[in-house]
Structure formats: C-alpha cells, structure tokens
Chains A and B, each alone.
Chain A
C-alpha cells in the first residue's frame, strides 16, 4: 500500500489512530501564517504604544484637545481642562496615571470582543493558527471554563463602551473651541477627533452584543418593526466589524499621538478658522 506509513498510535487530533495516516500537521501550501503574523504584530504594536502612553501621565492635554486615553479623567491629579471631561471621583489618593482608571473599560470591551477574541486566539494562542493547521496544544476546552468563560460578560463592557463613546463625543464637541475656549473654531486636531469619534461609534454599534440586544434576540421580527430595522442597520455595520475594530484602534492611537505631539511642543495645531 503506497508508501506504507503506519497509523500513529498515541497522539490525538489529525494524527489520531483512526484518521488517515499523514504525519504532517497540515498540508497547506499558501501563506497561511501571514494573517496571524500581521495580526500579532499589529496588536503587539498597539499594546506597546498604549502602555507607554497610559503610564506616562504626561502630555495628554493641549487646549482644546484631550487625549482619548485620558478621558474621562477621574482623579485629582488630572490636568485642569476647562469644561473638559474631569470629574474628581477618585480624589487625591490616586497617585499613578489617571488613564489607568478609565482604560479598563475600553480594554475590557476589546479583549472580550468577538472579533479580537478570534484575532488573539489565532495569532497569540495558535488555537488554531489558521484553518486546518493543527494547533500545538494537547488539550482544549475553549470557553467552557474559568477564565475564558468570563468572555460571556462582553455585553456589560458594551454598555460601558456606550458611556465612553459618549464622553469622547463630548470631547470632540469641545474641540470646536480655540485655545481660549471660544466656540466656533476648528483645527486639524478637530478633524482628527471627528474621524476618530465616527469610527469609535461605528465600531461600538457594530458589536455582536449590540446586534443581539437591539433585535437579534427576538423570535418574531414581524411583531417589532422598529427593532427589526435597527437590527438590520446594526447587521450591516456588523458585517464590517473586523475592519472597524482595526480602523478605530488606529484612529484612537492617532488621536492620542496627535495630542502628544501638540502637548510636547513638537508642532502647533494648524487652525482652520
């Protein structure tokens, strides 16, 4: 019989005893490793950048712009931002960067997001690295146990994400002022903030939990025409969820970086009017 490979005795998966005797973990000839490699590099870059910015506790405000990483700013050690998103909920005992308080929410939202789960399960955990490419783990229980069973709380992070998006919308409105808090002005930063907030909202509303809550949970769309329309709208956004996840990740980092450049005096915000 052919090249006479014996079936494998003691291993599971594609090398299990009953399966066709092929020792290669996969036979794919395309560049299947490219997508997980690019994903891992992108996520890693963002983690490095945001960790640096979140802990730096500096250069996050340059009137009228506040970095999205520091908004809302909830400790006493926050910079004074005229009618900005300050609320001293935590008082003076909070000594480290105030960004840490608030970043928990967007971080939790994205960590439990169905798209990001796919992205990091594949690219960081190789579970699986790509379709029909054997994963390196001997055991697998998926999201049935602690800690991964906690992924089920995603919808609560969605509710918080709505609040955060609300605050960032407020920041964008504030960016229509000049450096002396007069209204009716615009600079390049205003544009950066506008693009960012549109992407943040599009990402947040395209969430799978949102799709479920607005209408997906229903059995009879015919009895709820308004929710049916809302479900269809979210569904159209949801089809782009991956793209929106990346676009908003980049835009929020860029908005922060823009504020950093202004606040650290690298250049001045070009004003339009």
Chain B
C-alpha cells in the first residue's frame, strides 16, 4: 500500500471554547493515529497541543477519543479505518480540557491519593516478604495498568455526571482497592482499616452498575469488571449484607476471608 490522503477532524480549543477543525493529511503504510497527529503538527498546525511519550502503548499519555471511542492514539493503527473515512480526534470528554487534545487528568491523582496505601505487616521487616505466586496472581493482573485513565474517562458514572466525581473513585482506583484487599500481605485489617467496607462507604463502589465499559476500553486488556469490581462488590456484601458471614465471623472469632 502506498500513501494516501486522509480526512481528519481534530478538536482545537481550550476551556473558553473550541471546535472541530478539518485537515487533509498524508498517511503512509504502518502508521498509527499519533503519527498523523504529529504530521499535522509538523506541517499544518505547529501549535497543536498533544500529550505523548513512549509511542509504544506503555506510558498512558496519548489517550484521546477517536471516532468517539476512547483509545490510545499510538496504538490505533490507521489500517483499521477505510481510506475515505473521516477520522475525528477529540480530547477525553470526561475531564476538563486544557488545550486541544490535552486534558487535565488531576481528578485521577486526587482519587489515587484517597486510597489508603499498602499496610506493611508488623512482624516482617524489609526483605522478609515471602508470597506464593497463586496468592499474587490476581493483584498482578491489576498491576499491568499503565494509568492511561481511558477507563475513568469512559465510565458513565463520572463521564455523564460531573457531580458524582466527589463520591466515586472510578474503575481504576476501585481496582486498586481490590488489589490491596486481595494482597496476601496487606495488613490493613489488623490496623483497623476495612477495605471491603470502605470500598462502598468511601470510594463509591455502589455507583458502578457493572456495565463493563471500563473493561471494553482498557488497552492492557485487564478484566476490570469481572476480576476487580464484581469480586469487590461480593466482598462488600460479605461485610454489609450477609448475616451468615457475619454470624460465622462472630462464632469463630476470626475475621472472615481466610
């Protein structure tokens, strides 16, 4: 395939306003959307603002919405589009826009800070941690996250309802709560922090209606809903809605959850 000219529409503007601007731009074999954005920047709009770093799907910087779908620009091949298709690129629509394709993702850093960190076990010093692979498998899936915040952007709880941003941590940080609650050495419970309960009470787990859009857009293919959010909902049920588990934990005098 030799090169062709594609029709791009790129959102340009800032917090004051803006709109979609048309570009005719050259596309060569093997290129990705980020290449085309760079070409527009190099040849037609030198002040086009775009955030990127690795161009390898690993830094999570180049998140945008391409034809309405939240994706990484560097991992979206031009070959998935028809040559005569108009390709629309906008900034993430759940976060405040800074300029052009750059948004302020500070919401996510705020939410990250609200999740209490790993609590080290009291009886183990540095270098003494021993864990079985099967005990960390679940948490390790979640550690593949590249913090692109596409899931946070897509989640309708905050995307469509700005007012829920205070109460809801979003899929990425509920997954962090799940990761720590499943961590074999996290000693939160002995320190009086009940992550199963706070998932609902502090981080808004109940807002999630498990419609799986976070999973659909995650570029790392993490099963956010099936492996983190639903298991976390079940853990919250153990604490708050299951009299049998509650009774069992009273009788056996040890925390449920083995």
Q: Do A and B bind each other?
A: yes
A59: CB under 8 A from chain B? no
B-side interface residues, number (CB < 8 Å): 68
Q: Is the CB of B204 within 8 A of A21?
A: no
In the bound complex, do residue B217 and residue A131 qualify as a contact, i.e. CB atoms below 8 Å apart?
yes
Chain B contact residues: over half helix, strand or loop, or mixed? Answer: mixed
Q: Are B18 and A20 in contact (CB under 8 A)?
A: yes
Q: A75 CB to closest chain B CB, in angstroms?
A: 30
Q: Which of A1-33 contact B (CB under 8 A)?
A: 1-7, 12-14, 16, 18-22, 26-30
Instruction: State how many residues of chain A have any CB contact under 8 Å with chain B.
Output: 62
Interface residues of B in 75-132 (CB under 8 A from A): 85, 88, 90-91, 93-97, 103, 132
| Chain B, 146-162, CB within 8 A of any chain A CB | 154, 156-157, 159-162
Q: Does B60 contact A (CB under 8 A)?
A: no
Which residues of the other chain, A, contact B11 by a CB distance below 8 angstroms?
A: 2, 20, 22
Chain B, residue nearest A227 (CB):
B258
A127 within 8 Å of B by Cβ?
A: yes
Chain A residues, CB < 8 A from B154: 131-132
| A7 pairs with B160, CB closer than 8 A | no
Partner of A221, one of B135, B181, B212: B135
**B25 near A: Cβ within 8 Å?**
no
Residue of A nearest to B214 (CB): A131
Q: A16's contact among B162, B183, B207, by CB below 8 Å, is which?
A: B162
* Chain B minimum-CB-distance residue to A148: B209
Q: Are B157 and A217 in contact (CB under 8 A)?
A: no
The answer to the question of A128 belonging to the interface, with a C-beta cut-off of 8 Å to chain B, is yes
Residue of A nearest to B216 (CB): A131
* Chain A residues closer than 8 Å to B19, beta-carbon distance: 1-5, 21-22
A212 on interface, CB distance cutoff 8 Å = yes
Number of CB contacts from chain A to chain B under 8 A: 195
Taking a contact as CB atoms closer than 8 A, the residue among A132, A216, A221 that contacts B70 in the complex is A132
Contact with A along B18-56 (1 / 0, CB 8 A): 111100000000000000000000000000000000000
The B193-214 residues at the A interface (CB cut-off 8 A) are: 204, 206-213
Asked whether, in the complex, the Cβ of A122 is within 8 Å of the Cβ of B241, the reply is: no
Given contact pairs A18-B15, A19-B96, A152-B233, A143 touches B209 in the complex (Cβ within 8 A): yes
A182 in contact (CB, < 8 A): no
Q: Does B69 contact A (CB under 8 A)?
A: yes
Q: A96-104, A113-121, A164-172, A262-270: which lies at the B interface?
A: A113-121
B209 partner residues in chain A, CB cutoff 8 A? 117-118, 121, 127, 142-143, 148
Q: Contacts A20-B93, A21-B18, A143-B206 hold; do A220 and B156 have CB atoms under 8 A apart?
A: no
**Which residue, B12, B159, B160, B217, has most C-beta atoms of chain A within 10 A?**
B160
A62 to B170, CA, bound (A): 53
User: Contact: B238 with A217, CB < 8 Å?
Assistant: yes
Task: Please give 9 more A-B residue pairs, beta carbons under 8 A apart, in addition to A12-B163, A132-B154, A219-B135.
Answer: A1-B17, A2-B20, A20-B13, A29-B68, A148-B209, A219-B184, A228-B134, A238-B226, A239-B226
Residues of A within 8 A of B (CB): 1-7, 12-14, 16, 18-22, 26-30, 114, 117-118, 121-122, 127-128, 131-135, 137, 139-144, 148-149, 152-155, 208-209, 211-212, 216-224, 228, 238-239
